[in-house]
Amino acid sequence: MSKPKLLDQVRAIARLKHLSLKTEQAYVNYIRRFILFHEKRHPAEMGADEVRQFLTHLAVERQVAASTQNVALNALLFLYRDVLEIALPLIDGVVRAKLPKRLPVVFTRAEVEAILSQMTGTHFLIANLLYGAGLRLMDALRLRVKDIDFETNVITVRAGKGEKDRVTMLPVTLKLALLEHLRRVWRLHQQDLRNGYGEAELPYALTRKYPKAGKAWGWQFVFPATKISLDPRSGQRRRHHLYANGPQRSLKLAQERAGVVKHGSCHTLRHSFATHLLEDGYDVRTIQELLGHADVRTTQIYTHVLNRGGRGVRSPLDHN
């Protein structure tokens, strides 16, 4: 039996380590570009020098963002460490892409209200969860029915960024709308079952451990896709969760209709959640836990947002 091609090995190891499909695709992309940059030499024949040259090329000639260069570095470290099982020496001397020091964009409360008033349906519910519970967009889209506790008003985010679980609040004002939404999802699920579908994708190896769990109501996505589609990994036809581009487009359109000119996005609603909690007097540690930040310094950037524009400082032009 022939050995799988290198990029197929990368995909297999990525799935073994439960990397997201998006991360897997990004890693494959940068590993392919690395090989092409070095004229199709096999990575096993190369090492730290070639990695350094490629990363410097991305920063100097391609002028990529710092985050993009970091993804490329992580992809190559994954290739050597996990796929080829080759220990690379310290990769120093890389020309680093500049990391911009920017404060997050934050909507005011009036802007949030204006934007949400321009949204309807499922995308309205999703946007309310981003702002009302501090969820990332993918946190919301990957929610399962069992992750929402309507009695205790708690949402559990499973395997969020960094593969971490966390809990946050369920906004009380959303409960009735969410319950009505889930009644419609339940009817859709029953229809899928009658049509021979209705099995949700399960994380890790739960399908083998609990063969029937995928069809259970609790494991269904809160925000299912409108159509049955082909799972790119398993090859099965099933109903996945909504794609991110739908809510993203809806928010952009709502922002335009509301006349909000800030360069905002779905993630801006999460930034607004944190900033407005700080304005309400909640401490940084509490907000850190709700957001799922590993380091409190990440959360503290919102304290700088509160202080921008000279708030609390009197302009000399206003001196009497």
Average pLDDT over every residue of 273-302? 89
> Is residue 61 domain-shared with residue 196, that is, in the same domain?
no
Expressed in angstroms, the distance from the first to the final Cα of the chain is 86
| Same domain? 261 vs 183 | yes
Does residue 112 belong to any structural domain of this protein? yes
Which of helix, strand or coil describes residue 233?
Answer: coil
> Per the domain annotation, does 92 fall within a domain?
no
Q: How many residues does the chain have?
A: 320
Domain end (from 21, 55, 83): 83
- Final residue of a structural domain among 18, 48, 83: 83
Q: Of 61-65, 70-74, 76-80, 148-152, which gets the smallest average pLDDT? A: 61-65
- Give, to the nearest 10 degrees, the angle between helix 48-60 and helix 21-37: 100
Answer yes or no: do 170 and 78 share one domain. no
Predicted confidence band of residue 18 (pLDDT cuts 50, 70, 90): confident
**Domain span at 33:** 6-83
8, 28 in Cβ contact below 8 A?
no
How large is the average pLDDT for residues 71-77? 94
Residues 185 and 69 in one domain: no
- Beta carbons within 8 Å of 153's beta carbon, 6+ residues apart: 169, 170, 172, 175
Q: What is the pLDDT of residue 106?
A: 93
Same domain, yes or no: 148 and 259: yes
- The 3-state secondary structure of 248-310 reads HHHHHHHHHHHCCCCCCCHHHHHHHHHHHHHHCCCCHHHHHHHHCCCCHHHHCHHHHHHHHHH
Those residues with Cβ within 8 angstroms of residue 297's Cβ, 6 or more apart along the chain or in another chain: none
CA distances in angstroms from 284 to 65, 295, 296, 299, listed in the order given? 29, 11, 7, 7
Q: How confident is the model at residue 164 (pLDDT cuts 50, 70, 90)?
A: confident
Q: Is it the case that residue 1 has pLDDT exceeding 70?
A: no
268 has a pLDDT exceeding 80: yes
Residue 239: inside a domain: yes
Structure tokens at 65: 């963002």
CATH number of residue 47's parent domain: 1.10.150.130
* pLDDT score of 317: 59
How many C-beta atoms surround the C-beta of residue 219 within 10 A?
20
Are residues 125 and 62 located together in one domain of the fold?
Answer: no
Do 128 and 65 share a structural domain? no
My answer on whether 129 and 189 are in the same domain is yes
- What does the pLDDT read at residue 74? 93
Residue 311 has pLDDT above 70, yes or no: no
Q: Is it the case that residue 249 has pLDDT exceeding 70?
A: yes
pLDDT of 309 above 70 = no
pLDDT of residue 183 exceeding 80, the answer is yes
Residue 191 lies in a domain: yes
| Residue range 80-125, pLDDT digits in tens | 999 999 988 878 778 777 766 778 899 999 999 999 999 999 999 9
* pLDDT for residue 304 is more than 60: yes
- What distance lies between CA 17 and its chain's CA centroid? 18
> For residue 97, is it within any domain?
no
Q: Distances in Å between the alpha carbon of 319 and those of 262, 307, 313, 316?
A: 31, 20, 11, 5
Decide: 197 and 239 in contact? Cβ < 8 Å: yes
Within a domain: residue 95?
A: no
Q: Quick one: average pLDDT of 53-69?
A: 90
Same domain, 75 and 137: no
Whether residue 96 lies inside any domain: the answer is: no
Locate 261 and state its tokens: 């000119």
Task: Name the amino acid, one letter, at 113.
Answer: E
Question: What pLDDT band is residue 302 in, cutting at 50, 70 and 90?
Answer: confident
Half-sphere exposure at residue 316, Cβ-oriented, CA atoms within 13 angstroms: 0
Q: Which of 26, 55, 83 is the last residue of a domain?
A: 83
| pLDDT for the residue 315 | 61
Q: What is the share, in percent, of the chain residues with pLDDT greater than 70?
A: 93
* 226 is a domain residue: yes
Of 155, 111, 167, 160, nearest to 137 (Cα)? Answer: 160
pLDDT in tens, 198-233: 999 887 667 777 778 889 999 999 999 999 998 877
Cα atoms found within 13 Å of the Cα of residue 194, Cβ hemisphere only: 6
Say if residue 62 is in the same domain as residue 171. no
| Residues labelled as active-site residues | 136, 161, 267, 270, 293, 302
45 and 117 within one domain: no
In this prediction, residues 192-196 reach a mean pLDDT of: 94
Domain match, 79 and 124 both: no
Share of the chain above pLDDT 90, in %: 66
- CATH number of the domain within which 108 lies: 1.10.443.10
* Contact partners, residue 206, CB within 8 Å, separation at least 6: 213
The residue with greater pLDDT, 23 or 97, is 23
Mean pLDDT is lowest, of 115-119, 137-141, 283-287, for: 283-287
Helices (H), the chain: 6-16, 21-37, 48-60, 66-78, 109-116, 121-133, 137-141, 175-194, 206-209, 245-258, 266-279, 284-291, 296-299, 301-307
Q: Is residue 308's pLDDT more than 60?
A: no
Q: CA-based Rg of the chain, rounded to a whole angstrom?
A: 23
- Tell me how many domains the chain contains: 2
Report the pLDDT value the prediction gives residue 107, as an integer from 0 to 100.
Answer: 95
Q: What are phi and psi for residue 191, nearest 5 degrees?
A: -65, -40
